[in-house]
Amino acid sequence: PFGHGRHFGNSVGKGFDAIIGGWDLSGIARWTSGFPINVSTGFQWPTNWQLSGNGVLTTRPSVGTTRVTSGADAGNISLFKNNVNGINDFRAPFPGEAGQRNVIRGDGFYNTDMSVTKAWRMPYNEKHALKFRWDVFNVFNTKRFDVFSALADGNLELDISTSFGNYTHVLTQQRLMQFALRYEF
């Protein structure tokens, strides 16, 4: 928005335009809901002794990523606001029941990537330019916890009460920055 041919600073001198002109800011934001997941019984085969069933929801669990503050799992990140009580929100299916599928959702996710660029036209040839670029991925350093890691590690099975709902992996990378300087001709 600043410099020659722009809304602000359209009439500034060449020296000042070289400093304030030619900057561009761009970005993209993504916002997604959480993945639906099952709670497994982990220890019963109520259907026909061949397939284990899913847990049956008895009360609406209080979900949301929370750091466990006490007990053996202190410091771990959990899907449930209270992972010790989270297991009590489910029951094992009765014989003949298969249980419920996708009864809870993992955490949603928000991410923003941004880029700042600046171009300087060369005074000896308008077709030549020096371009600077600064890209920042995951600007706010947000994390998306892998709800499927809780399934794979058995942490969403009703027979594991101490680590029930604990995440073990992260799907996203930490904030990443890259710089580029390019001469175009």
Q: How far is CA 106 from the centre of its chain?
A: 11
> Does the residue 158 lie in any domain?
yes
Does residue 177 fall inside a structural domain? yes
| Number of folded domains that form the chain | 1
DSSP three-state, residue 152: helix
AA identity, residue 150? A
User: Is the whole-model pTM more than 0.75?
Assistant: no
Distance CA 51, CA 98 (A): 9
Please check whether residue 13 lies inside any domain of the structure.
no
Residue 146 lies in a domain: yes
Q: Which of 19-33, 44-58, 83-97, 139-153 has the highest mean pLDDT?
A: 19-33
Classify residue 41: in a domain, yes or no: yes
- Greatest Cα pair distance, the chain, in angstroms, is 84
**Is there a domain that residue 163 lies in?**
yes
Q: Is residue 126 part of a domain?
A: yes
pLDDT tens digits for 31-73?
A: 988 888 888 877 666 666 666 778 888 877 666 555 555 555 5
Does residue 168 form part of some domain? yes
Give the range of the structural domain holding residue 151, as residue numbers without chain letter: 23-184
